[in-house]
Structure 1
Amino acid sequence: MNSISGRTYGQILVIYKRNDIALAIEITRKIAQISGFSEHESILLQLVTEEACTNAFEHGGSSDIRRFRISWLVESDIMEIKVCQNGESFELHNGAVYPDGLHGRGLMLIHGIMDEVRLISEGACVTLYMSKKRRVT
């Protein structure tokens, strides 16, 4: 694959079913690779993608509609990942979060991996914005 380091790249995917999350993870891997992120950083970005998409799939929208959008934007050495879902806003906790059984670890992992994490509420859409700067070695 060609390198896009130093240029801008963007992509959007609409998730309709749980199996589509694997495609989002693969897209993250490919974008990280062509953007010059290390293999280690790529694995962490893939984990973030999986957690954010799983949360949106499980908690976003009504039980009948499980559709949400994920988008990637790379500018220079920063990758932005946005997951936009329909539904009610939720709180992001920057402090200690204590997982409850199998739930609650996703946002804690995302906060620990990404450089910036914030929530943007616009109408019926809630967007989880995450960004990570590529480490220069």
Structure 2
Amino acid sequence: MKIVDEILKIDVVPGWKKDTIITFPGKGNQVQRKSAAADLIIGVEEKPHAIFKREGNDLITTHKISLSEVLTGKTIKVTTLDRREIEASVTEIVEPDNEIVIQDEGMPSANRPGEKGNLIIKFDIVFPSQLSTLQKCQLRKIFNEVD
């Protein structure tokens, strides 16, 4: 028996998911002299991303939005994994469980070339930490809740 150094090439396919297995037949250790070398098996792992969470082929991100923007609208900019900037307009009043779904801007499908998941934008509503008496009064007038 002898030790052999060999460089093996892995062409990573965009969209591979956690636990994808790559097998190199006969490239593992040889336990006994007359036995064949074992297969070398490599498993893919995903690192957590600071902005996106993956669910299947969908990418999910959370965007902070102020209470004022929740009520009046806003254009949101999201930088994708491939560094493109996508704009999404919030035109309706955002409720706590609302989300924007942008078709075909998620992860590519490893099994279906050309197909992608969706980009899902969820909202984290930032409420003001305090309001003056005047601001409270003005809000009551706006919402027709005058005492």
TM-score normalised to the size of structure 1?
A: 0.26
Larger radius of gyration: 2
- Identify the structure with the greater helix proportion: 1
Structure showing greater relative contact order (alpha-carbon pairs closer than 8 Å, 6 or more residues apart): 1
